[in-house]
Structure 1
Amino acid sequence: MLNKVKISSRQFTILTTLFTIGSAILVVPSGIAALAKQDAWIAALAGLAAGVIIISMHILLAKQHPGKTLVEMLDTLLGKWLGRTVALVFIATLFLCGPSAVLNILSNFLTTQMMPETPIQSLNILFAVIVLMGVYLGIETFSRSAELIFPWIALLYIAFIVLVSFDVKPTNLLPVLENGMRPIWPAALSFVCTAFLPNIILLMIIPSVDNRRNEAGRALLIGGIIGSVVTIVIITITIMVFGPEFTARSMYPTYALARKISIGNFLQRLEAIMATIWFISLYFRMTIYMYAISIALAQIFNLKEYRPLVLPLGMLLVVMSVIVYPNITYQNSWDTRTWIPYTLVIGFILPLLMLCLSGFRNLNKQG
């Protein structure tokens, strides 16, 4: 059985938190500041409120189909052939938009900020190998690793916030709502599409959670809230230090924020703190993506074991990560024109339709 391994609800909370933080902690501040300027923190809070509703919808869907993954839910609601066709399209597109894009973002960051002379392909291969090791060892292994590493991540994050707080200028948040609520909504939508809607893939993992006390749904919600709050704090502090204009122009404003730390001309250039937090959260985001995709494909094709799929998917991941974003201009266009409607379809419209179908099935059974 693919779901025979069980993890605790606490481990699932940590995995959800790290998955939610993912690439958002470094990339989101610039995009949301470009839309909402100094009111980006308000837009992020609005996105958090909407995200809680979306996660609650995912939890309700999981409760209506206990012990089933997203693929198995589609099988039940749409029938074997249509359900698996929809699941295959979902997984194939998510593979391109999820782990392939994340690996590309990581390697671009390393080659532009830290190791400019290193070939991007070698970085992709090295990081992919580590991710595939985690996927092959299974969810029990990498969830325990996340449980061990998470306290250190929290400590680094708190240290970062404390050290950078010496440079904050609250006046950079003024005037509040200078342009009214109009720019808040697209910025909030951008936040939701990054922090919450991709969490639909966690429904592939939720059957592996030890749910004897019905804590899996609560773990999913708490993890999403914690991860989004971490991102909101980063957005707010980045704007208070740099102002909305620089934050919007910078590609990695949080990394620039870490480079700005200087206390007594002794404690400075601590960008390794932010890089460490980001690398670890990205590792777990990619590992969860790849594990969920492997499990989904195994279920679609009736395989008893997902591990034979790990190496072929890893090779495909390295290739696609190089070509998924040909250049930065294409990436920016993709993020605004394609990523938002795509995540709305898979993270909101698809589960909403599945809930409606579940409701109709229940009515028919009662009738």
Structure 2
Amino acid sequence: LTFAYPDTPLFIANALLMLVIIYTIRKGIEVIARSGELLFIFMYVLAVAGFILIVSSGLIHFKNLQPILEEGLSPVLKVVFTQTLYFPFTEVIVFTMILPYLDNPKKAKVTMLCASGLSGINLIITMLINVSVLGVDLTARSQYPLLSTIESIQVANFLERLDVFFMLALIITIFFKICVLFYAAVIGTAHLFKVKSPSQLSYPLGLIVLFLSIAIASNLQEHNYEGLKVAMRVIHIPLLAIVPPFLLLVAFFKNRKKHGENTLN
């Protein structure tokens, strides 16, 4: 809304998206997965087309990438261990809510490792392109560096203003991220309160998410502050980086004890 539809009420945009997400959740995890298979291909077609257009426009300047590691590895490691490690990569823990419903759980480990690796590669390539096109200063100052990169595309003086590429990619990725997180919330709530039909919770929980999305921050600056500062300390680090390893440790000793008892018997 900040760059494409500034006059559209936030509630309307969020409500339309949540309606689609609630409908998808009610159809089950298989529908989410099959939608992902289809739109995954579409996303990569967009990415390849965008990359070809950027190269054709002559926008890439590799000099913008120099000097590489000007201040050494310490700034990179600082960002990794204070930000990137907790957001977005710790969010993959949400997929553990889906693992029990897989037809072939043995493939889950390889699939998740490959998916995490591919996500990292995509982020690296995107950032390299942004810095190559915009330079370090503009990339750091831009609210949406990828959008600024796409807006720079101009081929043969007629192919330009391809903001729709960014819009489509943004909507698709946000849709799937919220779908997976919301599905985990619905399943978790159903287990907690022993609800036999989890899909019944999609409407009330969807309304909660919708109204919280409006109330949690009054503007984009407040949203960024709460997401990168407050939520990082209150949610991401405790719930995504501390609790899961602790539960894994508990499960390890519990299974070890159970295995020992079975051996004695």
Task: Give the TM-score normalised by structure 2.
Answer: 0.91
Query: How many angstroms does 1:362 deviate by?
Result: 3.5
Structure 1: 5+ residue stretches without partners: 1-109
Deviations 1:160-192 (A, max 9, x none): 122223311111111122222221123223223
Equivalences for 1:6-17 in 2 at 5 Å? none
Letter in 2 for 1:309: L
Identify the residue that residue 65 of structure 2 maps to in structure 1. Answer: 173
The answer to whether structure 1 residue 335 and structure 2 residue 201 are counterparts is: no
Identify the residue that residue 86 of structure 1 maps to in structure 2. Answer: none
1:160–1:274 CA contact under 8 A, matched in 2: no
Letter in 2 for 1:291: Y
Task: Output the CA distance in 1 between the equivalents of 2:211 and 2:227.
Answer: 20
Task: Output the CA distance in 2 between the equivalents of 1:274 and 1:328.
Answer: 18
One of 210, 230, 242 as aligned partner of 1:349: 242
Task: Output the CA distance in 2 between the equivalents of 1:355 and 1:317.
Answer: 29
Task: Output the CA distance in 1 between the equivalents of 2:15 and 2:80.
Answer: 35
Letter in 2 for 1:193: Y
Identify the residue that residue 121 of structure 1 maps to in structure 2. Answer: 11
Query: How many angstroms does 1:259 deviate by?
Result: 0.9
Structure number, greater radius of gyration: 2
Name the structure, 1 or 2, with higher relative contact order (CA <8 Å, separation 6+).
1
SS at structure 2 position matched to 1:145: helix
Task: Output the CA distance in 1 between the equivalents of 2:206 and 2:157.
Answer: 44
Task: Output the CA distance in 1 between the equivalents of 2:51 and 2:86.
Answer: 25
1:200–1:347 CA contact under 8 A, matched in 2: yes
2:98–2:184 CA contact under 8 A, matched in 1: yes
The answer to whether structure 1 residue 219 and structure 2 residue 111 are counterparts is: yes
Query: How many angstroms does 1:293 deviate by?
Result: 0.6
The answer to whether structure 1 residue 359 and structure 2 residue 249 are counterparts is: no
Identify the residue that residue 205 of structure 1 maps to in structure 2. Answer: 98
Cα pair distance change 1:186/1:336, threshold 3 Å: farther
Query: How many angstroms does 1:358 deviate by?
Result: 2.2
One of 123, 148, 153 as aligned partner of 1:256: 148
Task: Output the CA distance in 2 between the equivalents of 1:359 and 1:257.
Answer: 47
The answer to whether structure 1 residue 154 and structure 2 residue 44 are counterparts is: yes
User: Between the two proteins, what is the percent identity of the paired residues?
Assistant: 28
Task: Output the CA distance in 1 between the equivalents of 2:187 and 2:196.
Answer: 10
Query: How many angstroms does 1:240 deviate by?
Result: 1.0
Query: How many angstroms does 1:344 deviate by?
Result: 2.4
Cα pair distance change 1:328/1:148, threshold 3 Å: closer
Identify the residue that residue 64 of structure 1 maps to in structure 2. Answer: none
The answer to whether structure 1 residue 273 and structure 2 residue 199 are counterparts is: no
Query: How many angstroms does 1:141 deviate by?
Result: 1.4
Higher mean C-alpha displacement, 170-179 vs 297-306: 170-179
Deviations 1:117-165 (A, max 9, x none): 1111111111111111111111111211221222121111111122223
Task: Give the TM-score normalised by structure 1.
Answer: 0.66
Task: Output the CA distance in 1 between the equivalents of 2:71 and 2:254.
Answer: 47
The answer to whether structure 1 residue 308 and structure 2 residue 200 are counterparts is: yes
1:131–1:286 CA contact under 8 A, matched in 2: yes
Task: Output the CA distance in 2 between the equivalents of 1:339 and 1:144.
Answer: 31
Equivalences for 1:69-80 in 2 at 5 Å? none
SS at structure 1 position matched to 2:74: coil
Letter in 2 for 1:132: I
Deviations 1:223-256 (A, max 9, x none): 1211221121111110111111111111111111
SS at structure 2 position matched to 1:117: coil
2:150–2:166 CA contact under 8 A, matched in 1: yes
1:197–1:346 CA contact under 8 A, matched in 2: no
Letter in 2 for 1:353: F
2:86–2:241 CA contact under 8 A, matched in 1: no
One of 117, 125, 128 as aligned partner of 1:236: 128
One of 163, 170, 173 as aligned partner of 2:53: 163
Letter in 2 for 1:140: E
Query: How many angstroms does 1:306 deviate by?
Result: 0.6
1:259–1:271 CA contact under 8 A, matched in 2: yes
Deviations 1:309-350 (A, max 9, x none): 111111111110011122333233323322333322222211
